[in-house]
Structure 1
Amino acid sequence: MSEPAAPERPRGVLVPLALAQFICSFAGTNMAVMITDISDDLNADVGGVQTVITLFLLIMAALMIPGGKLTDRYGRKRCFTVGLSVYGVGAVLSALAPGLGVLALGNSVLEGVGTALLIPPVYILTTLLFTDTASRAKAFGVVMAMGGIGAAAGPLLGGLIASGLGWRAAFAFQALVVAAILISTRRVRDPIPADPSRKLDLLGTGLSAAGLVLLVLGILAADNDLRWSAVLIVLAVLVLAGFFLHVRDTERAGGDPLVSMSLFRDKVSNIGLVTQLLQWLILMGTSFVVSAYLQVVRGYDPIGTGVIFTAATAGLLVSSLSAARLARRFDQRTLIMSGFGVVLVGTVVLIVLAGSTLNPWAFAPGLLLIGLGLGSMLTPSVNVVQSAFGADQQGEISGLSRCVSNLGSSLGTAIAGTILVAGLSSHGYAFAMLTLALAGALGLFAAAELPTGKPLAQR
């Protein structure tokens, strides 16, 4: 099946796609600065709010691959609009939540399911509508920039809204943005017709979702009961092993599994997926840990905490919007390695501040470095993965890519957050940030295994 020519691409089609990535990323981090407000209003503890945040990220991760597969059966635009609608309902329900349970239903479940439906079409449509390497790199740069900015700006915007109008208004803001995106979807055209004959692997979906849920719940349980945590993690490993055996057997029998094993046979793509997981683990882990530490331990209000995060936002904005220009000068391996190196320095700076009585703005240099490092490598990592496969596999690889990124986000909040919540002190903060620094080091070593390529200007 041939790809559509670039001239057929409608003007402004990238706007709703980039805004969708922005609001989903915003949703993942804005609650971090409202922890104390939500806890007090709903009579919950910090661990309960952490669980709601983590479950939102986890449900996205667990359903992202099925979401990508559904685009083939029902069409990319239809999944995009349905996902936006479900997300909008969840945002409204969260704004009206009388207790933590309803907040979990609206934020964790409905917004998580909506995101899993709408995000794969964002990346599939970007890949299919921007067909040449240069324009695709620029388009991914815009989408990833909006995603990074949404994640980094979540604390600032969330803090401003929560301080001025209350935490519920932050969810009303999300609903308004989703409504605006739905209106703008008239620009979106699906370049490939839907294929109603494609079936969803229900058993594979159940096994993969159950395995990921058990894994993250096992991590969250570590601060209360290590034995129960170990049991859950072992069960997660067994269920995920069963998932991969099911996929292998289904593929050998000529069936259509949830995810093709061929997606894991490309070494470069595999390394790209690892770097994506670690990038989002660091971003979301840093957002939760620093926000919770400043509010719960240092006693800063949501707006004060959010303002401090402008440093990370600025770093992400500058480096993400420079992605296309950087890609013309440096190869993707260099950009990803440099990004992890800068992030590593930033986390070390934040660790040094543990227990310090310095002004909270002393956190800005470390957050700025983390923002700069992450922004410079988010786009290359996505491009490495997406460009490794043809149009016929974009639904699968997009779902897998987003699944890995969101799994990284949920792991970052679960692992670093659990370490912090287990001991809300300067020592807990230092150990949590040390965990994120180790993730940065792993990313640096992984990126070093990528092949040396050429900048776009030399291709």
Structure 2
Amino acid sequence: MGRDRTSAVPTLEVMAMTRTGSATLVLPLALAQFVASFAATTMNVAISAIAVDIGTTVIGVQTTITLFTLTMAALMIPGSKLTDIWGRKVCFLVGLVVYGVGAVLASLATGLGVMVLGYSVLEGVGSALMIPPIYILITVSFDDVAARARNFGVVSGAGGLGAAAGPLIGGVVTSALSWRASFLLQALLVLSIIVLARRVADPPRPEPRPGFDLLGAALCALGLFLVVFGILRTGTYGWLVARVDFRVAGAVLVPAGGPSPVWISIGAGVVTLALLVLHLRARERAGRDPLFSVALFRGRTTCLGLTTQLLQWLVLQGAFFVISVYLQQVRGFDAIGTGLMLLPATVGILLSSGAAGRLARRHTQRWLICGGFVLTVVGVGLLLALVREDSGVLSFVPGLFLIGAGIGVMLTASVNLVQSGSPLELQGDISGISRAVSNLGSSVGTALVGSVLVGAARPGGGSFALALATLGVVAVLGLVVAVLLPGTTQPG
């Protein structure tokens, strides 16, 4: 008995040290994910104020938001590859510094050019550098699947909180102080993360360090830029038939009613990405380091896992967008009220993400992803069944909560599945691809519901129901993909 009690003491000490080390690592990573997600949504509530203050138009400010998304999406994979060359911690810190400089510059902007440089370019580049190391460091620092899930859950919860709270916090700060204060808040958060990140340990990386595939990075960035740009332009031109004339230098190239010109950009992007694949294969055959290994896509689990990630982010961003627009245009809520109405979804994301570690010990990742999609489909159904133009605010709560809970469960499980399914030497590759896929899903989600809203024959409450129903169909498709995942992975 005495020996058992004595031997238990070191175990408890090790457990306490493990928790302390985990918090030291995960806290700055989670805060960084929060800031990046916050930046992607908070600008929307300050568009008019920024346009008036810096002497530009609403279209000009919306363009800076689009360019931020494009910069981040285009550079995510090349940025991830730099973690294998510079080191994960170094890449994380450099990204934070670049992001912080961009936030300060944006807060001082007196014209559109400075705003584009600070927000669109520097914050976009900073995000592409600092986000991939978040997921790599968690993967390489925790061997146990349940421990990874617990910490991925913290990061996912922080990201969900940032995305959902962005409009609320941005609305409060803009109303009480100024839109400039919102950028200064980001800069202060980044500074605090840099201080906290000094104690982050970076496990040894495979040696020798790989070279940087410059041509591959250029093809990857251009291909993703063109695909995402085309998707984002569907809100203006539509998916199939051009809603307005497509002009270049004043000349009408595609008249309204003709084929949508977005497919010119998307098609060029797909061709560029196909050339990228050929280039990567040629480099691998020549024994040279590619931007990423195409062998990653030969695994069924990885491909299906990435597909679920794309569909999850499509549903998440699409749902937040359509509900936010509905609350403001149909129900008359301001930015602060809209943010408060989205709190049930935020709570659902936080609770399910917080339970990720316990769920991963009891269930397979496939079971969790399937369950998450089921909860999301039910949540969408409840919103369609309960919410009317004259219904009370409580009618939103059940559906929003289940959507948040479902997305929180499956986001964590999908990240864990994809990251854990790749060897340590390919973590830089898979992390960048995973984040690029998530950004692509977010862009498609917003563009898809936006095009449904604009293209509805009778704008109003019915068009929002149609957009939400479209997301429900996507969630069902995600469930089908999740069922196809191998079911052999055991709980951690």
How does the TM-score come out when normalised to structure 1?
0.90
Does 2:382 match 1:370?
no
Q: Give the Å deviation of 1:285.
A: 1.9
Does residue 228 of structure 1 match 2:261?
yes
What is the aligned counterpart of 1:103 among 115, 132, 152? 115
1:286: Cα distance to partner? 1.9
Q: In 2, Cα distance between the equivalents of 1:344 and 1:330?
A: 20
Is 2:158 aligned against 1:146? yes
Residue 126 of structure 2 corresponds to residue 114 of structure 1? yes
TM superposition shift of 1:214: 1.4
The residue aligned with 2:97 is 85
- Counterpart of 2:291? 258
- For the residues of structure 1 that align with 2:411 and 2:162, how far apart are their CA atoms? 13
Q: Are positions 1:449 and 2:461 aligned together?
A: no
Tell me whether 1:292 sits opposite 2:325 in the alignment. Answer: yes
**What residue identity is the alignment partner of 2:358?**
R
1:239 aligns with 2:251: no
Aligned partner letter, 1:88: G
- Contact preservation (8 Å) 1:199, 1:256: yes
More divergent stretch after superposition (75-84 vs 124-133)? 124-133
Instruction: Work out whether residues 222 and 269 of structure 2, in 8 Å CA contact, stay in contact via their aligned partners in 1.
Output: yes
- Supply the distance in 2 between the matched residues of 1:157 and 1:449 (Cα, whole angstroms): 39
Aligned equivalents of 1:155, 1:17: Cα separation in 2 = 22
* Structure-2 residue corresponding to 1:395: 428
- Matching residue of 2:250: none
Distance 1:43 1:409, change over 3 A: farther
Structure 1 pair 191/417, CA: closer, same or farther in 2 (3 Å)? same
Which amino acid in the other structure matches residue 254 of structure 1? G
Alignment of 1:18 with 2:53, yes or no, is no
Q: Distance in 1 between matches of 2:361 and 2:315?
A: 26
Partner amino acid for 2:199?
R
Offset at residue 373 of structure 1 (A): 0.6
The reply on whether 1:271 has 2:304 as its aligned counterpart is yes
Q: Which has the higher contact order (CA 8 A, sep 6+)?
A: 1
Question: What per-residue deviation string (whole Å, max 9, x for no partner) do you get for residues 119-139 of structure 1?
Answer: 111111111111233322222
Structure 2 counterpart of 1:437, from 460, 465, 472? 472
Q: Provide the C-alpha distance between the structure 2 equivalents of 1:375 and 1:354, rounded to a whole number of angstroms.
A: 23
Distance in structure 2 (CA, Å) of the matches to 1:199 and 1:32: 39
Q: CA deviation at 1:84?
A: 0.2
Q: Deviations over 1:35-74 (max 9, x none)?
A: 5544565676666555443432332222111111101111
Call closer, same or farther: CA 1:426–1:35 in 2, change over 3 Å: farther
Q: Distance between the aligned counterparts of 2:309 and 2:223, measured in 1?
A: 20
1:75 alignment partner in structure 2: 87
Q: Which residue number corresponds to residue 349 of structure 1?
A: 382
State the distance in 1 between where 2:39 and 2:453 align: 21
Question: Is the deviation greater in 127-136 or in 425-434?
Answer: 425-434
1:325 and 2:337 matched: no
How far is 1:166 from its partner? 3.0
Identity %: 53
* Residue 65 (structure 1) aligns with: 77
Q: Does 1:426 align with 2:461?
A: yes
Q: Tell whether the 8 Å contact from 2:42 to 2:169 is kept in structure 1 after alignment.
A: yes
**1:188 and 2:200 are equivalent in the alignment:** yes
Instruction: State yes or no: 1:176 paired with 2:188.
Output: yes
Deviates more, 1:141-150 or 1:346-355: 346-355
Q: Alignment partner for residue 135 of structure 1, among 147, 154, 174?
A: 147
Q: Structure 1 residues 303 and 49, CA, compared in 2 at 3 Å: closer, same or farther?
A: same
SS in 2 for 1:187: coil
Aligned to 1:156: 168
Alignment of 1:19-38 (within 5 A): 19-38=31-50
CA distance in 2, matches of 1:61, 1:146: 20
* Residue 336 of structure 2, aligned match among 303, 306, 317: 303
CA deviation after TM superposition for structure 1 residue 103, in Å: 3.2
Structure 1 residues 245 and 454, CA gap change in structure 2 (3 angstroms): closer
Q: For structure 1, which runs of at least 5 residues remain unmatched after alignment?
A: none
**Which entry has the higher C-alpha Rg, 1 or 2?**
2
- Whether 1:248 and 2:277 are equivalent positions in the alignment is no
Structure 1 distance, partners of 2:307, 2:451, is 22
8 Å contact from structure 2 (residues 138, 151) kept in 1: yes
Cα offset, 1:447, TM superposition: 0.3
Separation of aligned partners in 1, 2:403 and 2:43: 20
Q: CA deviation at 1:147?
A: 1.8
- With over 3 angstroms needed to count, the CA separation of the structure-2 counterparts of 1:144 and 1:43, relative to structure 1, is same
Distance in 1 between residues matched to 2:468 and 2:379, nearest whole Å = 10
Count residues with an aligned counterpart. 453
Change (3 A) 1:132 1:354: closer
Q: Is the 8 A contact 2:235 2:450 kept in 1?
A: no
* Aligned-partner Cα distance in 1 for 2:398–2:58: 27
Closer, same or farther: CA 104–442 of 1 in aligned 2, 3 Å:
farther
> Once the two structures are superposed, what CA deviation does each residue of 1:11-48 show, in whole Å capped at 9, x if it has no partner?
61221111111211222222344455445656766665
Q: In structure 1, what is the Cα distance between the partners aligned to 2:61 and 2:345?
A: 23
Q: Is the 8 A contact 2:205 2:425 kept in 1?
A: no
Kindly provide the amino acid, as one letter, of the partner of residue 375 in structure 2.
V
Which aligned pairs between 1:195-214 and structure 2 lie closer than 5 A?
197-214=209-226
Deviations 1:340-374 (A, max 9, x none): 11112222334457772334553333221210110
Cα RMSD between the aligned structures? 2.7
Corresponding residue number in structure 1 for 2:257: none
Report the Cα distance in structure 1 between the residues aligned to 2:72 and 2:266, rounded to whole angstroms.
19
Deviation at 1:433, TM superposition (A): 2.3
Give me the whole-angstrom Cα distance separating, in 1, the residues matched to 2:337 and 2:330: 14
Q: Cα–Cα, structure 1 residues 80 and 283, in superposed 2: closer, same or farther, change >3 Å?
A: same
Describe the superposition over 1:193-220 as per-residue Cα deviations: whole angstroms up to 9, x where unpaired: 5868522212111212212221222223
Structure 2 regions of 5+ residues with no counterpart?
A: 1-13, 243-259
Residue pair 1:61, 1:403 contacting (<8 A) in 2 also: yes
For 2:50 and 2:386, locate their aligned partners in 1 and report how far apart those are by CA, in whole Å. Answer: 27
**Aligned residue type for 1:201:** D
Shift in Å, 1:152: 2.2
Rounded Cα–Cα distance in structure 1 between residues aligned with 2:119 and 2:55: 17
Task: Report the more deviating stretch, 299-308 or 36-45.
Answer: 36-45
For residues 138-192 of structure 1, give each alpha carbon's deviation from its aligned partner in whole angstroms, at most 9, with x where no partner exists.
2222222222222222233223223322333222211111010011111112212
* 1:338 equivalent in structure 2: 371
